[in-house]
Copies of this chain bind each other. A is one copy, B any other.
Amino acid sequence: MNTLAEENYLKSIYHLSVNDGNASTNQIASSLNTKASSVTDMLKKLAEKALINYTPYQGVSLTPSGEKIAISIIRKHRLWEYFLVEKLNFKWDQVHDLAEEMEHISSEELIDRLDKFMGYPKHDPHGDPIPDCNGRFNTHELKPVSAVTVNQSGIISGVRDHSSSFLQYLDKKQLTIGCKIMITDIIEYDHSVVVQTGNKEVHISREVANNLLIAL
């Protein structure tokens, strides 16, 4: 199997290349809190193992086998997060770091049984889709609140920022996964957004609107 460091690199490359299909050395370094030179060393090693496509100076992408490993780690991460929240009553802002550790427990049988035990959940506590045991995602089209027009409504279904402080802020404003909201106004001056949730109106900044995802 792969080392912990290798798994973290693969996961980071996966997340970074979801958008443009490619991750740069510096992006990886900053996402893993390490130095570019360390990244270069590891990229050579992963390329050697045929887990990434690497041409010096050109950034990297995952090969099918690299992607398979990355997705399996993401599956573990999200299932453990679900477990921690649903079974052990952690709050959604407390589980990320714990799951970072738990995602490296290697057994696939364990994770498949955990999946079954919890009734095959489709989304983790932050709304991120949980891939099934074949690595397939149930992708739903989500939009940031900042990209929605006035008078549209939808269900809060995900976040882009997973930091505790953001999640705690959402808790305080009662903007949590599953809430139905309606965009009632967009302030042109600073792109902040006014949303209706239940009986209240909440005013959120552009940044928050950008990191809050809804299903229309």
Residues of A within 8 A of B (CB): 84, 87-90, 98, 101-102, 105-107, 110, 113-114, 117
Contacts and interface: CB of A to CB of B under 8 A. Distances in A.
B98 A107 contact: yes
B102 A105 contact: yes
A117 B101 CA distance: 20
A67 to B, nearest CB: 24
Contacts of A89: 113
Contacts of A98: 105, 107, 110
Contacts of A87: 117
B102 A88 contact: no
Contacts of A107: 98, 101
A131 B107 CA distance: 26
Contacts of A117: 87-88
Contact of A88 (B90, B106, B110): B110
B88 A114 contact: yes
Contact of A101 (B84, B105, B113, B114): B105
Contacts of A84: 110
A114 to B, nearest CB: 6
Nearest to A110: B98
A160 B172 CA distance: 53
Nearest to A104: B101
A90 B105 contact: no
Nearest to A114: B88
Contact of A113 (B88, B102, B110): B88
Contacts of A88: 110, 113-114, 117
Contacts of A90: 113
Nearest to A95: B110
Nearest to A105: B101
7 contacts: A88-B110, A88-B113, A88-B114, A89-B113, A90-B113, A98-B107, A98-B110
